[in-house]
Amino acid sequence: MNSNQTFEVFVSPEGAPYRTGQLNLLHGTVKTPCFMPVGTLASVKAVSPDELEEVGAQMILSNAYHLYLRPGVEVVDALGGLHSFMGWTRPILTDSGGFQVYSLASMRKITEEGVLFRSHLDGSYHEFTPEKVVAIQESLGSDIMMCLDWCVGYPAPYEEVEEAVRITSLWARRSIASRKRDDLKLFAIVQGGMDRALRKRSAEELLELPFDGYAIGGLSVGEPHELMLEMVEEVVSIVPRSLPRYLMGVGMPEDLVEAVRRGVDMFDCVIPTRNARNGMAFTATGSINIKNAQFERDPSPIEPGCHCYTCKRFSRAYLRHLYKARELLVYRLLTIHNIYYYMRLMEAMRTNIERGTFEEFRREFYGMRQVS
């Protein structure tokens, strides 16, 4: 098992799975629990790197699959690596592309060697192997690299889920063997669908290898919320407390609170940015749809007391006007607010874990939503 200092646990209340900690990465430190805004194509949609820093984003997620197809790894490498290319100086985690391959099921073929797939851009054929995916991410200079894995949907036949676990473990071993840069961290991805025994098998097989962290993949693919949390609990109970645990592709504010309560340290999701572009803004009392007619003459900010740039400067009425007029500024302003909300939510959880008041925070979190 890996004994390096990729992850340090700061506060871990006795008898509780949740904790605060710190990731020590090439481009800086990240306090956990943390949420990573998604910048799939080397850009968090609608906002600049400076704006991301201003709202408190510590680390962002990008995607090796998409960058490999466009603009191409060679282009990014020639321009100094991903950080230089996109003007972001803080840490970056890159997904391997396993989820994208899953979503393109009709356009790919999986073998022990790797994945043969057709580009969603032009239909051209490409092959991803575990070795190639690690090499792509090492070239990009990702602070945290993800192994190639096989993600299955929900529901899925037992035989398919079992085979996905076997292949994921095989690819993980090859990923470790092909790694050349120790300054970049490499995480494995636990699969197993919605089967506790297969989740346990996947986690235990991957824990035999010296990874720097462990992700929980294959969730938020259509399963009931409680089933998702059951699988999170299963994996968290196996991954040692000394290692970071990352829940991929999740989620809504309630998901973050419940997963942190169960011992998850890291998250990413498109929800705050995608929902912003659809007119939804997050607040402590729940979400609001800025398109609604009730905001036509509303002079208040999205959330009274919020200190983000959007709430300090603009009214709901103005934001509704921008959205109805399809002015591009509204996507930026709503995205700024939503990411700020997510950053403050994670900060509040860290603070309350350190104070020993996390359960009180959780009750207040839900209590405010009941009022909305």
Average pLDDT rounded to a whole number, residues 173-177: 98
Candidates 3.30.200.20, 3.40.190.10, 3.30.365.10, 3.20.20.105; CATH matching 7-267: 3.20.20.105
User: Does position 3 have pLDDT exceeding 50, yes or no?
Assistant: no
Task: Give 108's pLDDT tier (boundaries 50, 70, 90).
Answer: confident
* C-alpha separations of 316 from 47, 54, 304 in Å: 20, 22, 11
Query: CA 206, CA 214: separation in Å to the nearest integer?
Result: 8
Q: Where are the domains of the chain?
A: 7-267, 277-371
Tell me whether residue 232 is exposed, middle or buried, using C-beta atoms within 10 angstroms of its C-beta: 0 to 12, 13 to 18, 19 or more: buried
Q: What is the pLDDT of residue 2?
A: 40
User: Does position 119 have pLDDT exceeding 70, yes or no?
Assistant: yes
On average, the pLDDT of the chain sits at 96
In this prediction, what percent of the chain has a pLDDT beyond 70?
98
Token couple for 265: 């340290």
pTM: 0.96
Average pLDDT rounded to a whole number, residues 319-331: 98
Q: What is the pLDDT of residue 1?
A: 37
CB 20 within 8 A of CB 354: yes
Give per-residue pLDDT as tens, 241-253: 999 999 999 999 9
Give per-residue pLDDT as tens, 42-68: 999 999 999 999 999 999 999 999 999
User: Does position 371 have pLDDT exceeding 70, yes or no?
Assistant: no
Q: What is the DSSP letter of 243?
A: S
Query: Is the bond into 272 cis (omega within 30 degrees of 0)?
Result: no
Average pLDDT rounded to a whole number, residues 199-204: 98
Residue 308 Cα to chain centre, angstroms: 22
Query: CA 82, CA 62: separation in Å to the nearest integer?
Result: 9
Token couple for 253: 């504010």
In this prediction, what percent of the chain has a pLDDT beyond 90?
93
CB 341 within 8 A of CB 272: yes
Q: What is the DSSP letter of 38?
A: B
- Summarize the chain as % helix, strand, coil (round to 5): 45, 20, 40
Closest CA to 60 of 28, 29, 88: 88
Query: CA 322, CA 334: separation in Å to the nearest integer?
Result: 11
- Report the catalytic residues: 95, 268
